[in-house]
């Protein structure tokens, strides 16, 4: 059996370590790219959202690699996003093209017990003890990867040798992906932090902070948002990775060792209550709460990255406008669609950062 997951997302390495722990063949897939988008767009209904078109092209590549099962991070039980419906539509289009059928498994979000039963079956029915150990390895990798990612996003605007932070991050992400036990993951994290301390940083640089917000999957996939975090970092802007997968994974658990995630998760939801009477999309309350938290901690603007046809993004936009108005900070909305230009987006982003600097926000 061949297994795969979506590249680009921070959860990818956690999926990789977990699946390899169970002894299965995990196939390294190419990054999502323009060729996938082009093919997916040509085969999609006109009204389909951008993620549908991109993932259709990606799933085509999966079928060409003869992948049997693909694991995708799920969502909570609120389905404003037509996530499962999209995958059913993708599967139908692939069948219409005579491409191989594969099983798609959603990790979390639709009932704990049923999710565990389905997961156990997908892994070849190992013992429940091994299932639990596999999930522990997944969670440990997730927290470690997110911690390294946060360090990199903080350090990148301050690095004195261009690219040194990304060289460090790539090296240790690779090592994390090969660590198949909780002990090895912990050891790798300690060594990674030790090596991070050797990176030359300039703490005297004037750094501004902004909040980068958007729907969960687009904000974690660099292809979706034109690698905005690194673009901002190069302009001397610090950006925290929002909606960390470790937060979403542990935020609703009662594990004593992960209590800080539960507390942070609850704090974000509390902050969002002023702007939300209900939760219309799976993680929209976390997005709003995290935006408020970053503004309270000194962020001077909001970058909202959205995609054409995405329902959660449509609902999030007016809420973020209210937040920006209340905090008296500028906000930029960028709508990503099939015809979006990276160059045009770069120009708008630079103008936005210059606006903040001219207002004396640093």
pLDDT of 111 reads 54
Neighbours of 227 (CB within 10 A): 14
pLDDT of 222 reads 87
pLDDT of 90 reads 81
Output b/e per residue, 141-155; b: 16+ Cβ within 10 A. bbbbbbebbebbbbb
pLDDT of 290 reads 95
**CATH of region 2-126:** 3.40.50
Instruction: Determine phi and psi for 72, rounding to 5 degrees.
Output: -130, 140
pLDDT of 360 reads 65
Label residue 276 exposed, middle or buried (CB < 10 Å: 0-12, 13-18, 19+): middle
Question: Which two three-digit tokens encode residue 235?
Answer: 């302009």
pLDDT of 21 reads 94
Indicate if 206-362 has the same CATH topology as 2-126.
yes
List of residues 6+ apart from 309 with CB closer than 8 A: 47, 48, 49, 50, 52
Average pLDDT per 10 consecutive residues for the chain, totaling 362 residues: 81 90 91 90 85 87 87 58 67 82 66 76 92 92 93 96 96 91 94 97 93 85 89 94 88 86 94 86 86 96 87 86 96 87 88 87 50
pTM as predicted: 0.89
Judge whether 229 and 57 are in contact, CB under 8 Å.
no
Locate the domains of the chain by residue range: 2-126, 129-202, 206-362
pLDDT of 358 reads 85
Neighbours of 198 (CB within 10 A): 8
Nearest to 96, CA basis, from 49, 45, 46: 45
Judge whether 15 and 82 are in contact, CB under 8 Å.
no
**CATH of region 206-362:** 3.40.50.11900
pLDDT of 84 reads 59
pLDDT of 85 reads 64
Exposure on the CB side of residue 250, measured as CA atoms within 13 A? 22
pLDDT of 278 reads 78
């Amino acid at each position: 059996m061949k297994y795969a997951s979506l590249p680009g997302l921070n959860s990818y390495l956690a999926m990789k370590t977990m699946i390899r722990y169970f002894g299965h063949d995990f196939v390294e897939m190419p990054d999502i790219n323009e060729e996938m988008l082009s093919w997916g767009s040509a085969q999609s209904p006109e009204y389909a959202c951008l993620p549908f078109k991109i993932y259709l092209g990606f799933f085509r590549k999966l079928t060409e690699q003869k992948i049997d099962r693909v694991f995708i991070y799920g969502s909570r039980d609120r389905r404003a996003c037509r996530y499962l419906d999209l995958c059913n539509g993708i599967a139908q289009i692939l069948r219409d093209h005579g491409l191989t059928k594969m099983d798609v498994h959603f990790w979390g979000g639709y009932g704990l017990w049923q999710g565990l039963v389905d997961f156990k079956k997908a892994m070849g029915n190992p013992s429940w003890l091994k299932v639990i150990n596999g999930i522990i390895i997944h969670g440990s990798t997730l927290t470690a990867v997110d911690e390294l990612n946060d360090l990199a996003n903080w350090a990148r605007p301050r690095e004195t040798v261009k690219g040194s932070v990304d060289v460090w991050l790539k090296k240790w992400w690779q090592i994390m992906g090969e660590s198949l036990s909780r002990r090895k993951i912990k050891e790798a994290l300690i060594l990674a932090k030790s090596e991070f301390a050797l990176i030359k940083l300039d703490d005297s640089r004037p750094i501004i902070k902004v909040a980068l917000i958007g729907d969960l999957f687009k904000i974690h996939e660099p292809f979706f948002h034109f690698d905005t975090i690194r673009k901002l970092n190069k302009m001397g802007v610090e950006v925290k990775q929002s909606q960390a997968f470790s937060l979403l994974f542990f935020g609703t658990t009662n594990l004593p060792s992960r209590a800080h995630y539960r507390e942070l998760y609850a704090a974000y939801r509390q902050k969002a209550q002023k702007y939300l009477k209900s939760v219309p999309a799976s993680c929209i309350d976390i997005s709003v709460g995290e935006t408020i938290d970053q503004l309270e901690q000194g962020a001077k603007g909001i970058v909202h990255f959205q995609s054409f046809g995405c329902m959660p993004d449509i609902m999030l936009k007016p809420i973020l406008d209210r937040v920006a108005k209340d905090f008296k900070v500028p906000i930029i909305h960028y709508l990503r669609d099939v015809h979006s230009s990276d160059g045009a987006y770069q120009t708008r982003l630079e103008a936005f950062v210059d606006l903040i600097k001219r207002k004396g926000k640093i």
